[in-house]
Structure 1
Amino acid sequence: MYENILVAVDGSEASNHALTEAVRMAKLARARLTAVYVIDQSGAFTYAGACDPHLLTDAARQVGRSLLNDAVARMSELNVPGHSEIIETLGIAEDIASCIARYVDAHGVDFVVMGTHGRRGMRRMVLGSVAERFVRQSPCPVLLVREPAVDA
C-alpha cells in the first residue's frame, strides 16, 4: 500500500475535495500525508516592472501558509500523520506541474492526490490544466478529484 501521499492545495473547491480524499486515503493506508502549496515564481518575473516581486511572493506565502495550516488541522482531526510545505517553481524555467513532479521525485512520494476543475473544450485549451500536465509526467499513481458540478 502507499506510505507517502502528497496532496496539492490551492484554495479552490476542487483542491478542498482533493484534500478530503487524500486524508481518507492516508487514514486507510496508514500513510504519511504531505500537503503542498506551490508558489509560481514565473509570475514574479511577469510583474517585476510593475511592482516589487518580493511583495508578490510574500503575499503568496501568506496565502499558502493559511491554506496549509487549515490542511494540517484537518489531518490532525483524523489523526493522520504528516506535514505541510510551501514549494516554489524555478522561475520561468519550470511550471507548477513540473515543480510538483520534482518534489515527488526528491521526497519519495508514492501517491499524489490533486483537484481538477474538469474543464473541457476551449476553456481547457485556453486555461490549460496543472493536473493534466502533472499526470503526463508523474512517476507515481495519481488520483484526480473533480470539483462537484454546479446545478444550473
Structure 2
Amino acid sequence: MKRLFLSAFALFLSLALTGCVRRIVIIDSQPQGAQVYFDRKLIGQTPYTHEFLYYGAHRLELVKEGHANLNTTLKLKGPIYEYFPLSVFSELLIPWQISDEHSFAFKLEKGQAQKPVISPIEQPQPTLPSPQLERIEERQ
C-alpha cells in the first residue's frame, strides 16, 4: 500500500511540475536602442523580450536621447486557456510548455527627451488621531 501511494505521489509530482505557461512581451522601437521602462522599472533596451507574470494593463515608457519619450499602457489579455478552470490544466497538468507571446513595435518621434518617471519608494502616510486614541492618551 505504501509503495502504491509513493508511486501515485511521484506520478502526480512529475505531471504537476512539467507544465507551465510562459508569458512573453516583445517590445521594439524605431530607432532601436531605447530604454524600456515596464511598470516604471528599467528592464533593458529595445528590442527587448520580457517575461511577465500577470495579464492586464502595464505601463510602458520608451526613452531615447534626441527623441520624445513614448508613454503608453499595454493591455495584455490572456488566452482562453488562462481562465479558470482551464488554467489548472495549462499551468499544472499539460506536460509541455505553452508560450504566449505579445509583440509591440513603436516609432519614436524626434524631440526633447524628458526624465523617465520612476516609482518612488512609498512612505507611510501620517494618520490623524482618532477620538479613542485621544482618550487613551488623556488617561496616561
Task: Give the TM-score, by structure 2 length.
Answer: 0.24
| Larger strand fraction of residues | 2
TM-score norm. by structure 1 comes to 0.23
Q: Kindly indicate which of the two structures has a greater share of residues assigned to helix.
A: 1
**Higher Cα radius of gyration:** 2
